[in-house]
Amino acid sequence: MASDKCCDPPYGDVFLKQSLDANEKTQLLNAKWESVHHYGIPSKYVGGKFRKIQFRWFVDNTWLHYSTSKQGVYCAPCFLFSGKDENSKQKSLAAVPLVDPSNIGKTIQAHAVSNLHRESCEAAHNFISVMTGDKKDIVCSLSSAHEQTVEKNRKILVDIVDSLILCGRQNIAIRRHQDDRSNFAAIHQLQAKDNTVLRDHLEHDNPRTKYTSPEIQNELISICGEIISKTIVEACNAAPFFGFIADEATDAATMEQMAIVLRYYDCAPSRVCEDFLCYANCSATTGEALANAFLQNLETAGVNLQKMRGQGYDGAANMAGQYRGVQACIRQIFPKALYTHCKAHSLNLAIVHASKEPLARNMMGTVQEIAFLFDYSAKRLFQFQASLAENDHERVEMEKRKKLQTLCETRWAARADALYTFKTAYGTVVKSLERLSENNDTKAGAYRAAITQFSFIITLVAIEHVLSGSVQLSKLLQSTTCDLVQAATEAEVVKTQVEK
Ligand SMILES: [Zn+2]
């Protein structure tokens, strides 16, 4: 058993301190004595007897504390929270400890039911609630009006963010030529129809705090972007390895940008992901400059570069170059990141080279020009549709198509569809060109002569047949789920088809 004088109460002696911080106050209010015997409270000789402070007083009144330095008892909540204009009797347990043990029982009883004590206990209870997080900060609780404003502004901000996200998801421009008639504003007006809070905000609030300015839009967009890229990077870093894909794209302002994409296996939905991470602004286009820009962007985003096992680009010299290309520069630092020339690009290149054959080139040129001919003139298009209406067989074959398609400039496999349409509507095309030329349309006459030649027809049929086989392969090669075995199998099928 511990000796009588070895321990202090389970809290500091408040009368020895100038002031208490929040943690010390909490400790003082929460402290309970397990046994007073161990704390060596001395007996006092009062009125001809030795009197001692009773342990049960501390048990019955948990607020009652003992000060070793003053050798007296006091009320912790009143000491911390009572005001200054209390009467002297109450003051004796609050500001000044009670040192005379002779009448201590009655004094404590009277104190426990006093208004001062009740108020102090309530203040102490609120203080503990704030400290443990059960209750909001006193500044917020004091002003319910302020709290309501915070709540209202949050709701408004959520609506504004929602409309930005909607624009992003639907791939529509946020603003048009005028700010007040922007898509963004139109969505707000629609939202405000059933949303009085938003309507009130848009109509009556201070224009300086509307949160709809382009600056705020940009800020919100970049916050959304940060959240998205953080999610992608976390998933990518959780995978054992990742592949890095980049390709050049020219934006609407003809600025060259490099799209950076991560390919990795995400365990949570169990699938291979190919996620666009960001655009890298590239001032120089040498392999070394691009490699540095890529690595810096990945590093800034927080991607664990040590896990890079693959790189995929097109075959441009600055990307694929064996010594000074991006892939070589990156492999110098991360040797395990093997380079693969994007197979969809390779297939496209093969088709482009094959189509350099004069017959094929002429045929495609003619098809493209005739598509434009009908596309850019309402009169000619009308003639085409009138001829199509007369030809039942071709109208059925064309399904929902009402006009010819132009040839895709970049994805050559996609040209198969345009060639198929031309081949299907061949009779209608000849008929409408014939009628147009009868009406003194000399261009139409020349095209009619060109497409009725045997060499044109045979080239159209042959190329359409070959390309239609490569459409599926091209789509497969671009899909995220495609693996090497699948790609090789499908490529072999197309190869056999072409060789037949
Ligand atoms: Zn009290």
The 10s digit of each residue's pLDDT in 155-206 is: 889 998 999 999 999 988 887 666 667 888 888 888 888 888 888 888 877 7
Quote the ligand 1 centre to 79 CA distance (angstroms). 7
Q: Which residues are close to ligand 1, an ion, with C-beta < 5 A?
A: 75, 78, 117
Q: How far apart are CA 149 and CA 200, in angstroms?
A: 13
Quote the ligand 1 centre to 233 CA distance (angstroms). 56
Q: How far apart are CA 94 and CA 98, in angstroms?
A: 9
Q: How far apart are CA 137 and CA 129, in angstroms?
A: 9
Q: How far apart are CA 7 and CA 33, in angstroms?
A: 12
Quote the ligand 1 centre to 112 CA distance (angstroms). 6
pLDDT surpassing 80 at residue 439: yes
Quote the ligand 1 centre to 66 CA distance (angstroms). 13
Of the pLDDT bands very low, low, confident and very high (cuts 50, 70, 90), residue 467 is confident
Three-state DSSP state, 201: helix
Which of 88, 84, 66 has the alpha carbon at shortest distance from 14?
Answer: 66
Give the pLDDT confidence of 311-337 residue by residue, as tens digits. 998 888 888 888 888 889 999 999 998
Quote the ligand 1 centre to 73 CA distance (angstroms). 11
- How far CA 355 is from CA of 119, 493, 494, in Å, comes to 92, 21, 17
Domain ranges of the chain: 14-139, 144-212, 227-341, 350-499
Structure tokens at 186: 């139109």
Quote the ligand 1 centre to 46 CA distance (angstroms). 24
Among 3.30.420, 3.40.50, 1.10.1760, 2.30.30, what is the CATH number of 227-341?
3.30.420
Quote the ligand 1 centre to 86 CA distance (angstroms). 11
Q: In sequence order, what are the beta bridge partners of 271? A: 266
Quote the ligand 1 centre to 136 CA distance (angstroms). 25
Quote the ligand 1 centre to 16 CA distance (angstroms). 20
Quote the ligand 1 centre to 140 CA distance (angstroms). 27
Quote the ligand 1 centre to 122 CA distance (angstroms). 11
Q: How far apart are CA 31 and CA 397, in angstroms?
A: 88
Quote the ligand 1 centre to 102 CA distance (angstroms). 19
Quote the ligand 1 centre to 38 CA distance (angstroms). 25
Quote the ligand 1 centre to 293 CA distance (angstroms). 68
Q: Is the dihedral of CA 389, 392, 396, 398 positive or negative?
A: negative
Q: How confident is the model at residue 1, as a pLDDT?
A: 37
Q: How confident is the model at residue 244, as a pLDDT?
A: 92
Share of the chain above pLDDT 70, in %: 91
User: How many Cβ atoms from other residues are within 10 Å of residue 317's Cβ?
Assistant: 10
The residue-averaged pLDDT of 472-486 equals: 85
Alpha helix stretches (DSSP H) within 133-210: 138-142, 144-170, 183-192, 196-204
Please tell me the total number of residues recorded for the chain in this structure.
Answer: 500
Cα first-last separation, the chain: 101
Confirm if 433 and 458 have CB atoms less than 8 A apart: no
Three-state DSSP state, 281: strand
Beta-carbon contacts of residue 215 (< 8 Å; ≥ 6 apart): none
Q: In sequence order, what are the beta bridge partners of 262? A: 244, 275
Of the pLDDT bands very low, low, confident and very high (cuts 50, 70, 90), residue 237 is very high
Quote the ligand 1 centre to 6 CA distance (angstroms). 28
Q: How far apart are CA 96 and CA 79, in angstroms?
A: 8
Quote the ligand 1 centre to 410 CA distance (angstroms). 84
Residue type, 410: T
Three-state DSSP state, 176: coil
pLDDT surpassing 50 at residue 3: no
In 295-411, where do the E strands start and end? 308-313, 338-341
